[in-house]
Structures are given as structure tokens and as C-alpha cells.
Amino acid sequence: MGMTVLASPDIHEQEDLDTAIDSDRPWQTVVWNDPVNLMSYVVRVLQQYFGYPRDVATTLMLAVHHEGHAVVCEGPREQMELHAQAMHDYGLWATIRKAPQ
Amino acid sequence: MPLTRIEAVNLAELLRQFRELIQATDTGDPAMQRLVPDAYPDDPDAARQFRELTASELLEHRDADAQAVLASLGAPLTAPATDAEALEETALALSPEQVDAWLRALTALRLVLASRLHVESEDDHDPADPRFGVYEWLGYRLETLIELTD
């Protein structure tokens, strides 16, 4: 066993770990509250487009309404962009972000 | 869905104006920005790229929805000559695809009007401005259509 065994590899390991965690964090499609879209319409869109059951769609809609926004989907960036574009097509305001740490 | 003649005439006129607006593609217009919203508020480069990729398709879809609704209304429509004619009801039979086009078109019209009227909360209302009447009527029709198809 050489002395290199005792050399501290901590910094590199930590960097590798950070990179791994960062690339594991999914992307999110976030729908934001606006004063225009009707609650019934938002529920309908979430049911129709994502195929969510009515109670899931309603919970998400209420989160948008009361908390100002809700994550409606998580996954790879390209897919979240397609979902955001689909939400824009329905007139909902959606954004894309990396899941917060 | 039952619709009076005067409602159909007014909706057709709104959609005609809406088509003019989206064909003008004034990207600085706040109403246009709401129809093609910012997908990356914290990343201007990603936001611009996303907009470049999606804007024209979104606006084409809005135009197609407007045309689909106009077709189902039987446009071009002649303005009613009498009050009785104005209140004459037509029952519209819409296919599921037409219903979806109607919902998106009514929503888009409301987004544009809300932008023009600076609507910032659900309670915003100015009884002196007749455009609020139009805005609320569109909301009523949207709600009715959702209830009918739920």
C-alpha cells in the first residue's frame, strides 16, 4: 500500500457527488395562478392533457389558486418543455425549472 | 349549446378582431406576450430560445381555433334587424374537437381582454367600461360550455 491511500480525495469526491445530485434533480413544469382562467377550466385542462383523475387535477388547481403556483409534472427537460408548450396552447401560464434542492 | 343571434354576431366580431391581432404579430404587445408567455423567467436566453421554437405554432393554433369557432357559428353573420331576431336562439351541436377549439378560443379572447383592461385580480370590475361586460359574458359562456361537457 502506497502513501496515496492516505492522500485526501475528499474534494474530488465531493465534486463528483454534487454533479451526480445535480443531474439527478428532475426538471419541472410549473403552472402559475392568473386572475383570468376559470378554476373549472384549469381542472379540465389538467385532466384532459395529463390524464390526471379529477381529484388530483382539483388538488393541483387549488394549489395554483391558493399558493400561486403548482408543479404539475416532473421529468426530463425536453418533456417538461413539451408540457409547458401544451399548457400555453390551452392559455395557461406555465414555466420550466430545475427542481429546487 | 344555445346561443342567441346577437351573441353569435358579437362573438364573430370579437374573433375577427382577434385574428387581426395575432396576424399583426406585434411581439411587444402585452396581450400577445400573454398568449406566448415566458417559459424561463430566470433565464432570458432559454426563454428567447423557447419562444422562437414555440411562438409561431402557438399563434397558428390560436388562429385555427378562431376559424373553427367562426365556422361553427356559420360566419359571416348578418346583424339582427330587430330585437326579436337578436334574441332568436340557435342550438349549436359541437363535436368534441369543436368544443376544445371553443374553450381555447374563449380563453384566448379573455386573456387578450384582461390584458387590455389591466385585470389583476378576479374582483377587478369597472361598470363604466362596457368591455368588462364582454369579458364577463365570455367567462359565463366558457363556464356554461365546461358544465355542458363535463
What is the DSSP track for B15-51?
A: HHHHHHHHHHT-TT-HHHHHHS--S-TT-HHHHHHHH
Q: How many whole angstroms separate alpha carbon A43 and alpha carbon B134?
A: 24
Q: Where are the domains of chain B?
A: 2-149
Contact B39 A97 (CB under 8 A): no
Query: What share of chain B in percent tops pLDDT 90?
Result: 75
Q: Where are the domains of chain A?
A: 36-91
Cell of B132: 368588462
Give CA–CA dist A47/A54, Å, rounded. 6
* Cα A55 from Cα A99, distance rounded (Å): 24
Contact between B76 and B12 (Cβ < 8 Å): yes
State yes or no: pLDDT of A11 exceeds 80. Answer: no
- How far, in Å, are A18, B64, B138, B139, B143 from residue A36 at the CA level? 41, 22, 11, 9, 12
Q: Which of B 86-115 lie inside 8 A of A, CB atoms?
A: 100, 103-104, 107-108, 110-111, 114
Task: Supply A79's cell numbers.
Answer: 418533456
Helical (H) or strand (E) element with A96:
strand A93-98
How far is A9 from A5, CA to CA, in rounded Å?
Answer: 9
Q: Residue A4's pLDDT band (boundaries 50, 70, 90)?
A: low
The shortest CB-CB distance from B50 to any of A37, A81, A93 is to: A81
pLDDT the model gives residue B79: 87
Higher pLDDT: A75 or A9? It is: A75
| Mean pLDDT score, B8-17 | 96
Distant-in-sequence, close-in-space partners of A63: CB < 8 Å, separation ≥ 6:
A69, A70
Residues from A contacting B (CB-CB < 8 Å) are: 35-38, 40-41, 44, 48, 81, 84-85, 88-91, 93-97
Which residues is A98 bridged to in the sheet?
A27
Q: What is the mean pLDDT of residues B126-146?
A: 93
The interface predicted TM-score of the complex, written ipTM, equals 0.94
What is the rounded average pLDDT of the residues A36-57? 97
Q: Please name the amino acid found at residue B5.
A: R
A36-91 is classed in which CATH architecture?
Answer: 2-Layer Sandwich (3.30)
Residue range B17-76, pLDDT digits in tens = 999 999 998 889 999 999 999 999 999 999 999 999 999 999 999 999 999 999 999 878
Rounded to two decimals, what is the model's pTM? 0.88
- Look at A3 and B60; give whichever has higher pLDDT: B60
Q: What pLDDT does A9 receive?
A: 53
**Phi, psi for residue A95 in degrees, rounded to 5:** -130, 170
